Amino acid sequence: MIPVAWRQFRSQAAVATAALVAVAVALAVTGPHLVDVYRAGLAACRAQGTTGSNCSNPVAGADRGLQVAVLAVVLVAPALVGMFWGAPLVARELESGTYRLAWTQSVTRRRWMLGKLGVVALGAMAGAGLLSLMATWWSSPVVTAAQNRFSPGQFGLLDLVPVGYAAFAFSLGAATGVLFRRTLPAMAVTLAGFVAARLAVTYWLRPHFMAPVREVLPLQDAGIGLVVGPGGPTVVGQAPPLPNAWVVSTTVQDAAGRAPTAADLRHACPDLPGIGTAGPPAGPGVGHVSAAVPVPGGLKAPLQQCVATLGARFHDVALYQPADRYWPFQWFETLTFVAAAVLLAGAAVWWVRHRMR
């Protein structure tokens, strides 16, 4: 069965191989340039005396179009696998009637399904693994400079997880193809299901793989976010200086866990426009004073005073996943998606064996 499944898969594999080769060439050609920019940026920062997260490396903006393209390719590849390799796997044979030829050969439906699923799943995972390997290598200067590999936007596009995503999307495609017996509806449902699964895992499951570390930090005036919104002024927590960690949430609270009310803010920061005094603040950025926006000279002292007053009662509570949990999380998420893939594949095999009669 395996040689037969491979023969049926051959032309799709050829297309994927050609695409991978093209990507490899493009990345190999442009990769060294990024490395150079990165190293030059590091050297410049060292000369200036800034280190770590204070060093803004120009590599972040280098080859911006290509950066986006690489991200897009890794993001989209598993969905494409699901739609174009998974959905037609069985649905095509059902639509064209060739299942009447396949299921009357001397091989049981179980062997037939396992052969087809196994060969293409391995191909999908291998292809996704290669793609991810190349993309991770190429974008490592950017990711290292931004120290954001654990962030939700970047985590799913690096290292191991794309392999799990590809396996899952493929199985989802195959299973919906079996269920709907038609390729096009299966493709649509696969895409929707894959997107939903990715979002659900990223925002609902991943934060809870391990209990996040809780750290209480004093408020700092550099990086504090004071926002004047329709409900009055609020203060947004500031991200602690943890490179390559994943800050799940930051909140400003007092010892009892309560956030500062508008009254608290007006009492603590009477001299800040828009908060203590009536009227819009006379500064750049409507209603928002933060480190990202340069503080006009006249507001520096009132701001420090404000933060000192607030800081007596309130603290910055950060929930985060430390940087050294990156690889356990990669494995955890990959295995979760692979397990789901196996379940879906098993369901597809069961359906073909018992329900399609």
Partner 1 sequence: MTAVLAARGLGKRYGRRWALQDCTLDIPAGHVVGLVGPNGAGKSTLLHVAVGLLAPSAGSIEVLGRPPAADAAQLSRVGFVAQDAPVYSRLTVADHLRFGARLNPTWDPALARRRTEDLDLDPRQHAGSLSGGQRAQLALTLAIAKRPEFLVLDEPVASLDPLARRQFLQSLMEIVAEQGVSVLLSSHLVADLERVCDYLVVLVASHVQVAEEVDTLLGAHRRLTGPRRDPASLPGDIEVVEESHTERQSTLLVRTDGPVLDPAWTVEEVGLEDVVLAYMGRAVAPARGRRARLGVAP
Residues forming the site for partner 1 (CB under 8 A)? 1, 3-4, 7-8, 11, 96-101, 103-108, 111, 357
Q: How far apart are CA 197 and CA 337, in angstroms?
A: 9
Q: Find out whether 329 and 209 touch, Cβ atoms under 8 Å.
A: yes
Q: Find out whether 334 and 296 touch, Cβ atoms under 8 Å.
A: no
Nearer to partner 1, 5 or 169 (CB): 5
Comparing CA positions, the residue from 269, 264, 297 lying closest to residue 283 is 297
Helix %, strand %, coil % of the chain (to 5): 65, 10, 25
The distance of closest approach from Cβ of residue 2 to partner 1 in the complex, given in angstroms and rounded to an integer, is 9
Nearer to partner 1, 51 or 105 (CB): 105
Q: How far apart are CA 298 and CA 301, in angstroms?
A: 7
Burial class (CB in 10 A: 0-12, 13-18, 19+), 100: exposed
Nearer to partner 1, 105 or 304 (CB): 105
The distance of closest approach from Cβ of residue 355 to partner 1 in the complex, given in angstroms and rounded to an integer, is 10
Nearer to partner 1, 100 or 258 (CB): 100
The distance of closest approach from Cβ of residue 207 to partner 1 in the complex, given in angstroms and rounded to an integer, is 46
Residue 283 is classified by DSSP as S
Nearer to partner 1, 34 or 352 (CB): 352
Q: Find out whether 237 and 250 touch, Cβ atoms under 8 Å.
A: yes
The distance of closest approach from Cβ of residue 103 to partner 1 in the complex, given in angstroms and rounded to an integer, is 6
Q: Find out whether 233 and 227 touch, Cβ atoms under 8 Å.
A: yes
Side-by-side strand order, sheet with 225-229: 232-236, 225-229, 288-289
Nearer to partner 1, 9 or 150 (CB): 9
Nearer to partner 1, 53 or 105 (CB): 105
The distance of closest approach from Cβ of residue 22 to partner 1 in the complex, given in angstroms and rounded to an integer, is 24
User: Which residue has tokens 């974008």?
Assistant: 139
The distance of closest approach from Cβ of residue 352 to partner 1 in the complex, given in angstroms and rounded to an integer, is 12
Structure tokens at 169: 């999307």
User: Which residue has tokens 């006249």?
Assistant: 298
The distance of closest approach from Cβ of residue 1 to partner 1 in the complex, given in angstroms and rounded to an integer, is 7
Nearer to partner 1, 63 or 95 (CB): 95
Q: How far apart are CA 116 and CA 5, in angstroms?
A: 5
Q: Find out whether 250 and 315 touch, Cβ atoms under 8 Å.
A: no
The distance of closest approach from Cβ of residue 176 to partner 1 in the complex, given in angstroms and rounded to an integer, is 22
Structure tokens at 282: 């006379």
